[in-house]
Amino acid sequence: MANARLTAEQTVIAGIRLLEALSAAPGQTLSAQDATVRLGIDSAQLGQVVETLSALSDRSSGARAAVELAGDRVVLQGDAALIMPRRFSLEESMVLAHVLDVLDLDDDTRERIRRALGPVDGRAERPGIAEPARYGSWFSQLSEAIEDGIRCTMSYRSLTDDTARERLIDPLSIQEEHGDAYLVAWDVQKDAERRYRLDRISGLAFTDESVDAHEVGTLDIAESLHRAGTSTRLRLRAGASSFMLDWAGVADIVRSDDGSTEFTLFYSSKPWLFDQVLAMGGDIEMLEPAELRDELLVYANALLDSISNG
């Protein structure tokens, strides 16, 4: 179904963008389909924009904006309506500043981009948009390595490490799960696919080698946890907060008549699992395996000791 006719403001926005795109296009022409995609409008709305632009004229010079739809193409004739690409508007600069901020691009890159494209008065340096940090400090380099197939050395501190240690990896992709961002990579020494939380990466360097071809899994985190196969059966007490049922590794949920809920949880880190169980303060019980219950008690005592001795 066709969208409504564009408002005056939308016509102005689309009109400027179309002139910009036509000015930059070879021969000052674009396919109508390309133009609708670029402007985010439908073909009827494109007709409205072209009609408006074709009516632009300058009485003193006699110049007019010769924009027309010729078959399935939009064409700009002559030089009168050519415009250079604009700097980003305040709105776009706010978004851009946030993107650069949240992905933690380095200060020099930010400054070069801001100088080339941002408002000259430096507005929008504080965009007023926020979100919890999730990408760490290496997103830019990692995404370049993924795009170009570069093998990397990475300094990473896992949950079981006291300090970061070096790994040789082939970066594959970046995934998100419940507000955290993960690098999916091939651990070359372990010859296996692994996931690394981006905010735990403390160093990254490109090697001179290219990545090998791997049987790359397209599994999401839940599927990956299930495949790893380490699981426990848990029971959530009636009336307890049930946010953990949204976790990626949860399966086989069974609700009982007494209001309690039993479920299987696939996990990759025992300390993480124990912490979540302890943080529930008795609202959740680990049913099996039995040896994991014993390990939980040992872990809990060690935690209590750490605070007594700390």
Partner 1 sequence: MLESDTTAQPEGLELSETALRILNLLFILNASSVPLTTEQIISDADVGYGSANRASDLKKFKRDREKLAERGVIVKEIRPEGAQRTEESLWTIDRSSTYASLGAISRDDADALLRAVDECLSRSDIPFRRALLDIRQRLQTMTSREAVPASLDASPSHQESRAAETLWSAFALRRKVRIAYIDAKGSESQRTLAIWGMFMQDGHTYYVGLDDQSGSVRTFRGDRIVRAWRPTGSYAIPSWFDVRDYLFLPFDLGAGLATKVSFTIPAAVDAAELKALTKERGELTCDESRGAWVWTVKAGDVTEAARFALAHAQCGMRPLAPQKLVNAWKACIDKAVAAHG
Q: Which of residues 212-251 bind partner 1 (CB under 8 A)?
A: none
**In the complex, minimum distance from the CB of residue 257 to partner 1, in angstroms, rounded to a whole number:** 20
**In the complex, minimum distance from the CB of residue 274 to partner 1, in angstroms, rounded to a whole number:** 8
Residues 6+ apart with CB under 8 A from 65: 19, 53, 54, 56, 57, 76, 80, 81
User: Does residue 125 interact with partner 1 by CB under 8 A?
Assistant: no
Q: Is residue 106 helix, strand or coil? A: coil
User: Does residue 103 interact with partner 1 by CB under 8 A?
Assistant: yes
Angstrom distance (rounded) from CA 195 to CA 154: 13
Which of 120, 208, 218, 239 contacts partner 1 by CB under 8 A? 120
Give the nearer residue to partner 1 in terms of CB position, either 126 or 255.
126
∠163-186-224 over CA atoms, to 5°? Answer: 90
**In the complex, minimum distance from the CB of residue 255 to partner 1, in angstroms, rounded to a whole number:** 19
Contact 67, 74 (CB under 8 A): yes
Q: Which stretch binds partner 1 (CB under 8 A): 217-225, 248-256, 257-265, 282-290?
A: 282-290
Give the nearer residue to partner 1 in terms of CB position, either 14 or 74.
14
Contact 142, 204 (CB under 8 A): yes
Query: Rounded to whole angstroms, what are the CA distances from 22 to 9, 18, 33, 34, 56?
Result: 20, 6, 13, 11, 15
Mask: binding to partner 1, 126-165, rule CB under 8 A, as x and -?
x-xxxxxxxxxx-xx--xx--x---------x-x--xxx-
- Number of residues counted as binding partner 1 (CB under 8 A): 120
